[in-house]
Structure formats: structure tokens, C-alpha cells
Amino acid sequence: MNNVLVKITGLDHLGRGIGRVEGKIIFVKNAYINEEVTVKITKEKKKFLEGEIVDFEYKSPFRIDSKCNILNCGCALKHVPYEKQLEFKEEKIKNIIKRYTNLEKVVKKIIPSDDIYNYRNKVTLKVKEKLAYSENDSHNLICIDRCELLDEKINKIIKEINKMDLNNVSEVMIRSFDETMVCFKGNIDIKELNGVSSIYIDDKLVLGQEKIKANLGNFNFLVSDKAFFQVNTKMAFKLYKKVEDIITKDKTKTLLDLYCGTGTIGIFLSKHFKKVIGIEISEKAVMDAKENTKNNNIENCKFYVGNLDNGLKEKADIIVVDPPRKGLSQKTIKDILDVEPEEIIYVSCDPMTLARDINLFKDGYTVEEIIPLDLFPHTYHVESITKLKRKN
């Protein structure tokens, strides 16, 4: 198909411009609402087309020049001003919730990110001579020296690593809080790296300490190489504070922290409950959670390894869930319903699976509020906290 002129009428949930060509819907990356763009078709399917901008007939006055020139990375909204990114995310979550339920009115105003650049504490890069991102929708690797989303400590380390011989390295993960960890996959001769307190090669610690420390308010968290930790440290603190604000606190009650990772949410909330039990599939994360309870002088939290897809044996008055993007399995939802907690707090990083899941709780639970938070500026992702209350 020849290049086509497209009028962009909206954005889809991935932040792509939407238009029509001969009655067929077309998705155009990096396009903004009301723009008229000449588009090269990159994919032709029965029901839709995809394309890339070749030229602008009309550019939106809202469009901003991005700080970086990398194309097709995770920053689908980098040409969109931050206030408009927030509007997009709030609308996105409302639209998705509306599609599955009729609850869009309980969606609150989005909480913006404190920082919109240099907020990421972690990156995993591939190697193509130098460190590289994997381009979206392809196997292409794009070499980088820096990324505007990453903590500058990580950018410095990327520059250092790019000077090394990476011929036998396939992947590098860098994570940085108050301390910094670098994990290589492959073979590399390395004795030290400036500013790095922990180096792993193929899952073996070769330099420094096993875990690195992150401070969130009054709490310290040690985090292992394989454990999950929120990528936006300042906003992780805001997220947990918000959960603390809205949860019903009662020192006679037991709280279950499901998908607990390194124990962050349970430890944050421990002073408001008699007992906290955390369950998590990653052994390393549970070891961190146990150490984190000790280091923060907390005595009422217990964490253990468990695959929640295989069942939930614990009882509790209140349950917090913070699952990965795929959300809760039907079995986990049934198990939670069997426990009959008086309140469920659902922390979600994917509004699609959140909407699907809260729909399955609707007979027994009322959704009181959904609070979106922006933990991932310039990307289309949106985090949220939902409070569900038992009906009787």
C-alpha cells in the first residue's frame, strides 16, 4: 500500500494515534490527537492497519520535542506534555473500567509522579557491541549511552560498561537505590566498577554484598538481584503511603499481604495490625522480606514462599493483593472470596486485568474507589489502588 494521509482522532490504550483509512482503523506510533500525518503502512491485517509517520501535514500545538531520539522504546508518550500524559492515563483507566464494569465514577484524579525524568531505579539491557534496548515489536537492538528515564547513577554505569569488551555478554541488569548492583549474563573479566557495591556474573556474586539497600521513609529494604522492587522509588513510597491512608486500620485484625515481594507493603502497614502474613513465589524475595522485618525491628510480620495459583490456606480480616500484570487467577479470586475478608486493597499495574478481576468480586464486594498513580511517566502504563468493601 502507498503512503496514506491520516487524521488522528484519539489515542489507543498503548498511546498510539488512531485514525481511519478506507474505513479501516489504523494505529500510528508517536502521533497525537488532531494531527494530520502522512503514514507508511508497516502492518496490514484484516481488521486494522499499523503505520509510521513519514511527514506531518498538521502538527499538534501540544506536541513537545522529546529529550531523546530513541524510537520504538517503551516511551510511547514522550512527545506528549506531562499534563496531557496524566489526562491520557486517567481517561485510559476510566475507559477500561467502564468497558468491563459501570464503575468509572469511582476513579479518582491521578496522582502525578514526583519526577518525570531520571525516576527509574532499574534497567535490563541486551548487548549489540554496546548496551542496547530491544525495539518494540521486533528483535532489533538499539545501542544506547543513556536513557532519560534512568537514574543518572545508572547512566554513568552504562557509559562505563560501554567501554568494556562485551563480546561474551548477552544481558546486563543495573539497579540503583542508595547502593548500586550490576548483574551480567555471560562472561566478563571484571574486578570492580566505580560506584557499584554488588556485581553478579551469571547469578554468582563476584564482588561486594549480596543485596542492596533502598530507603523508603523510615524503613530500609534490602533487595536481592532476583527480587521484584517498584522501579520508581519515590512513587513506591507514595503508593504505599496511599495504601496506608485508605486501608481500614485495626490493631485487633490480621492482614494478608499477597504477592508481597520483599515485604514492603506488609512492613509499611504492620503497625496498624495485630499480625501480617505475606506470601510470595520468589524465594529470594521472601528471604529479603524476612531480613527486612528484622532490620526494621518489626515483630508481627511473617513471610513465606508460596505459589498463590496453587491455593491460599491463610485466613485474614483484610487482604492486600499486588499481583503481576496478568492479575489474579480465577482460583485465587475464588480462594479470596472463600476467606471473606471485610476489605480488599488491590494494587494493580494493568487496568485491563484489574477491571476483569474486580468484575468477578462484584457480587460480594463494593468498589469504593480506584486511585490511579503515575509511576511510569512517558510510557502508557498506569498503576492504581482499588478499595473493595464486603457487602455484608
- Report the residue from 229, 237, 273, 346 that binds ligand SAM according to the rule CB under 6 A: 229
265 lines the binding site for ligand SAM (CB under 6 A): yes
Give the C-alpha separation, 85 to 91, whole Å: 10
Q: Which amino acid is at 174?
A: I
Binding mask 312-331 for ligand SAM (x = CB under 6 A): ----------xxx-------
Residue 246 CB-density burial (10 A; 0-12 exposed, 13-18 middle, 19+ buried): middle
CA distance 251 to 188: 52
CA 3 vs CA 220, 347, 358: distances in Å? 55, 43, 43
Does 68 qualify as catalytic in the annotation? no
Interactions with ligand SAM, residue window 64-123 (CB under 6 A):
none
Stretch that binds ligand SAM, among 75-83, 186-194, 254-262, 333-341 (CB under 6 A): 254-262
Instruction: Establish if 172 lies at the interface with ligand SAM (CB under 6 A).
Output: no
Select 150 or 349, whichever has its Cβ closest to ligand SAM. 349
**Please, which residue, 10 or 311, has the CB nearer to ligand SAM?**
311
With cell 528515564, the residue in question is 149
Q: Which is nearer to ligand SAM, 53 or 173 (CB)?
A: 173
Is 217 a residue that touches ligand SAM (CB under 6 A)? no
Nearer to ligand SAM, 191 or 326 (CB): 326
Residue 158 CB neighbour total at 10 angstroms? 19
- CA-angle at 325, arms to 319 and 331, nearest 5°: 55
Q: Closest distance between ligand SAM and the C-beta of residue 116, in Å?
A: 21
Q: Which of 53, 141, 143, 281 binds ligand SAM (CB under 6 A)?
A: 281
Q: Is 224 near ligand SAM (CB under 6 A)?
A: no
Work out how close the CB of 266 gets to ligand SAM at its nearest, in angstroms, rounded to a whole number.
Answer: 8
Q: Does 195 interact with ligand SAM (rule: CB under 6 A)?
A: no
By C-beta, is 30 or 176 nearer to ligand SAM? 176
285, 344, 354, 375: residue in contact with ligand SAM (rule CB under 6 A):
285
Side chain identity, residue 392: N
Count of residues that bind ligand SAM according to CB under 6 A: 19
Strand partners, 219: 216
Contact status, residue 352 vs residue 96, Cβ threshold 8 Å: yes
Among 15, 261, 327, 351, binds ligand SAM (CB under 6 A): 261
Q: CB of 262 within 8 A of CB of 293?
A: no
Alpha helices, H only, the chain: 82-100, 152-162, 233-246, 264-269, 283-295, 330-339, 351-360
Task: Quote the least distance from Cβ 263 to ligand SAM, whole Å.
Answer: 8
User: What is the identity of the amino acid at 50?
Assistant: E
Q: Which three cell numbers stand for residue 365?
A: 464486594
* DSSP β-ladder status, 4-7 and 141-143: unpaired
What's the CA dihedral at 58, 63, 67, 70 to 10 degrees?
-50
Cell 521484584 -> residue:
228
Q: Applying CB under 6 A, which of residues 148, 179, 280, 357 lies at the interface with ligand SAM?
A: 280
Measured from the CB atom, the residue of 27 and 229 that comes closer to ligand SAM is: 229
Q: Does residue 230 bind ligand SAM (CB under 6 A)? A: yes
Q: How far apart are CA 296 and CA 266, in angstroms?
A: 12
Least distance from ligand SAM to the Cβ atom of residue 230, Å: 5
Stretch that binds ligand SAM, among 68-76, 151-159, 276-284, 358-366 (CB under 6 A): 276-284
Catalytic residue among 73, 183, 260, 349: 349
**Cβ at position 239, least distance to ligand SAM in Å:** 7
Round to whole Å and give the CA distance between 351 and 146: 30
Is residue 264 involved in binding ligand SAM (CB under 6 A)? Answer: yes
Q: How far is the CB of 226 from ligand SAM (least distance, A)?
A: 9
Stretch that binds ligand SAM, among 54-62, 77-85, 307-315, 376-384 (CB under 6 A): 307-315
Q: Does 178 bind ligand SAM (CB under 6 A)?
A: no
Q: How far apart are CA 375 and CA 74, in angstroms?
A: 14
Instruction: Give the burial string for 350-367 (b: 16+ CB within 10 Å, else e).
Output: bbbbbbbbbebbeeebeb
Interaction site with ligand SAM (CB under 6 A): 228-230, 259-262, 264-265, 280-282, 285, 307-309, 322-324
List the catalytic residues. 349
